[in-house]
Amino acid sequence: MDVSDNLSKIAPWISKTTACMELRLVQPQLGHPDASEPVSYTAFEPTFTYPIFGEQEVVFGYKGLSIKISYTSGSLRIYPCIDYKQKYEPGSSSSATTTATPEGPDDVSNMLLDFLPKQDCFSNYDEFVRAVQEDAESFRPIGEKIHEYSRESSESGEEHFEIYRTSFINEKFKKYHRRMQFFVLLLIEGSSYIEENDEKWEIYTVYKRQNTGGSTIYHFVGYCTTYPFFYWPECTRLRISQFLILPPYQKEGHGSELYQTIYSTCMSRNDVKELTVEDPSEDFADMRDRNDMRYLNTHNAFDKLVAPVSRKTMKELRQKFKLTDRQMQRCIEMYLLSRVNPKQKEEYKAFRLQVKQRLYLFNLDALRDLDPEDRKDKLEQTFDNVIEDYHRLLEMI
């Protein structure tokens, strides 16, 4: 049997895990006492599964594989359910094994349980449903409530949300974090679990608060982890590490609300001198830019600024508003672009040179090896791309 024949026999037993996995947030079936099903759920798919199933994001040995991971919507206790239509059996006539065929099916259950807190996982669906109903009544967010806000919903009217802050000093929260951290592996590229024995981590969690029939039920929305680093001489640089809003709640402003809360907290703390972000995604960078610009505009940070803005002024603004040097320069450039008149040649030239100077220094390693003409062309191209992106962001502010 040649390789192509062998692959054709193996292929039906290979499942793409991003396609066959589903995550569910489960809550009691409210307002329908006669409903045949006591719970309802909101489902979404993972973006990535390679931290669990490997770089190719596939498992071998099943046809019709289904991986459903259900969470109680507030307390995040877990019911993993793995189902399939047919399982590969080595040596059987149906599997047509060869020396190049895998010895047996992948152990999907154990692959999952390597990343899930086993003590918080149910193996019986009825027990999980009871937990959904019980936890809806008893679960309360852990930590200190630092902010609350409302959103209008076309389906349910005004909805209420709360943000809490805590750390791993709280043992109860440490156990809770073991349940919620699984989401980052599936939804944030390149993410990994953080060290729960490091009590310096500060974690901000977001919940939807639902009031019904005299009861209050909390639903998990998302969270952010931050870590304090030394900032000379005796202060702190706070770094945003993981930032996640679950897909059912995305595009509703919850990320902005969470970021604004963290930023406002930094502004109120004398020990924190700078807020940084670890390897931000494009979506996060956009959200951050919009919110920083709104905050700086609201607090009149750019009053009377014209290009070229001196390094002394930039430093004063950066220190006052606790942003990194690059982030403050970008915000200043966006502000200047929104005010500059391209028809005023000297005015626009001063703006253009200021942006190009930053871009040159930022990309110095890549530009220094080019000959002068290529360097000029590359810098001009980079400038055009940045200006185009600034226009896009300014339209959203």
* 57 included as an active-site residue: no
Is 290 annotated in some ligand binding site?
yes
Tokens 């995550």 correspond to what residue? Answer: 23
- Which alpha helices (H) appear in the chain, and where do they start and end? 3-10, 17-20, 50-53, 108-113, 125-138, 171-180, 182-187, 254-268, 282-298, 311-321, 325-339, 345-362, 364-367, 372-396
Beta-ladder partners of 62: 87
Is 251 annotated in some ligand binding site?
yes
- Per DSSP, the residues of 43-112 read EE--S--HHHHTTTTEEESEES-EEEEEEETTT--EEEEEE-SEE--TTSTTTT--TTS-SS---HHHHH
Cα–Cα distance, 101 to 40 (Å, whole number): 41
What are the structure tokens assigned to 236, written together? 């702190």
Tokens 């669990």 correspond to what residue? Answer: 52
CA distance between the termini of the chain: 62
Q: Residue 297 burial (CB < 10 Å; 0-12/13-18/19+)? A: middle
Is 243 annotated in some ligand binding site?
yes
Is 76 annotated in some ligand binding site?
no
Is 123 annotated in some ligand binding site?
no
Is 169 annotated in some ligand binding site?
no
Is 253 annotated in some ligand binding site?
yes
Could you tell me which of 328, 320, 316 has the C-alpha nearest to residue 292? 328
Q: Residue 342 burial (CB < 10 Å; 0-12/13-18/19+)? A: exposed
Is 255 annotated in some ligand binding site?
yes
Contact, 252 vs 300, CB < 8 A?
Answer: no
Q: Residue 291 burial (CB < 10 Å; 0-12/13-18/19+)? A: middle
Is 252 annotated in some ligand binding site?
yes
CB within 8 Å of 388: residues ≥ 6 apart: none
Residue from 195, 278, 316, 380 carrying the catalytic annotation: 278
Cα–Cα distance, 295 to 289 (Å, whole number): 10
Could you tell me which of 73, 250, 40 has the C-alpha nearest to residue 179? 73
Q: Beginning with the edge strand found earlier in the chain, give each strand of the sheet holding 39-44 in spatial order.
A: 39-44, 21-28, 66-72, 78-83
The catalytic residue positions are 278
Task: Mark the binding-site residues, compressed into ranges.
Answer: 243-245, 250-256, 290
Task: Mark the binding-site residues for acetyl-CoA, compressed into ranges.
Answer: 243-245, 250-256, 290
